[in-house]
């Protein structure tokens, strides 16, 4: 079973209500929300108020990918806005364990995202406490970039590390029909996709990724 979490980074921002309803109709399992602060990544998107206003339009879980510095300052706001799962980058927080604990204490699932050059051993002492590992297969900040092939090796390695538990192993960036198949073969069980889903009929595109 593959979980598909479409990224609304490629959606029509002037019509997000219709976009997430259409994704739900099309068979999405979650909604991936890319939060960017213009500091950790060179782009700026949306924050808690937008997420809160979308919350009433779908029952799908909100998979919130925080690409922001010092996420610990904002975890509570995202919980209150309706996030179900929060993924953070280890480079953005001094006390990774504490920030993960905070996410879970607020009743949400917690994920850690690895940049293309972040080694897997950063997870050694926290892997049993998280619900999701997100492999960034592009440099974060923008949709529509090409998949970095070296990340397949990382997925394979992580799949071995998580063999014993039911952690989600997600891949984000440059996912299309071909790269989805390579990621599934390497052991990924969740795919995040923006531009590929939004370039066609959402239902057809989601089916092609599965």
Q: Give the range of 49-57, 70-78, 114-122, 186-194 binding ligand DX5 by CB under 6 A.
A: 186-194
- Tell me the catalytic residues: 34, 172
Task: Scan residues 84-113 and list those touching ligand DX5 (CB under 6 A).
Answer: none
> Residue 180, exposed/middle/buried by CB under 10 A (0-12, 13-18, 19+)?
buried
Near ligand DX5 by CB under 6 A: residue from 61, 71, 111, 173: 173
Identity of the residue, 167 or 175, whose beta carbon is nearer to ligand DX5 in the bound complex: 175
Q: Considering only CA atoms, which of 108, 117, 53, 63 is closest in space to residue 90?
A: 117
Q: Distance between CA atoms of 168 and 122, rounded to whole angstroms?
A: 17
Identity of the residue, 39 or 98, whose beta carbon is nearer to ligand DX5 in the bound complex: 39
CA-based torsion, 90, 93, 98, 103: positive or negative: negative
Q: Considering only CA atoms, which of 206, 201, 76, 202 is closest in space to residue 191?
A: 206
4 — phi, psi (to 5°)?
-110, 125
Write each residue from 52 to 71 as x if it is in contact with ligand DX5 (CB under 6 A), else as -, in one continuous string.
-------------x------
Identity of the residue, 125 or 139, whose beta carbon is nearer to Zn ion in the bound complex: 139
Q: Is 144 in the site for ligand DX5 (CB under 6 A)?
A: yes
Near Zn ion by CB under 5 A: residue from 65, 108, 148, 198: 65
Question: What is the β-pairing status of strands 3-6 and 190-193?
Answer: parallel
- The first and second tokens of residue 44, run together, are 């700026």
Contacting residues toward ligand DX5, per CB under 6 A:
7, 9-10, 32, 34, 65, 138, 140-141, 143-145, 172-175, 192-196
């Amino acid at each position: 079973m593959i979980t598909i979490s479409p990224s609304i980074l490629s959606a029509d921002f002037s019509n997000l209500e219709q976009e997430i309803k259409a994704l739900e109709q099309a068979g999405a399992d979650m909604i991936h929300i890319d939060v960017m602060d213009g500091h950790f990544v060179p782009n700026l998107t949306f924050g808690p108020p937008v997420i809160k206003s979308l919350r009433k339009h779908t029952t799908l879980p909100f998979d919130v990918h925080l690409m922001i510095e010092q996420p610990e300052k904002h975890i509570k706001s995202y919980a209150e806005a309706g996030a179900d799962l929060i993924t953070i980058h280890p480079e953005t927080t001094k006390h990774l364990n504490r920030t993960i604990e905070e996410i879970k204490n607020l009743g949400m699932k917690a994920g850690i995202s690895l940049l293309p050059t972040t080694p897997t051993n950063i997870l050694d002492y926290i892997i049993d406490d998280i619900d999701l590992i997100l492999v960034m297969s592009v440099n974060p900040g923008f949709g529509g970039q090409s998949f970095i092939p070296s990340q397949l090796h990382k997925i394979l390695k992580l799949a071995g590390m998580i063999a014993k538990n039911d952690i989600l192993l997600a891949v984000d960036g440059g996912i299309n029909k071909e790269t989805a198949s390579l990621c599934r073969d390497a052991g990924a069980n969740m795919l995040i996709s923006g531009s590929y889903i939004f370039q066609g009929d959402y239902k057809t595109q989601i089916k092609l990724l599965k």
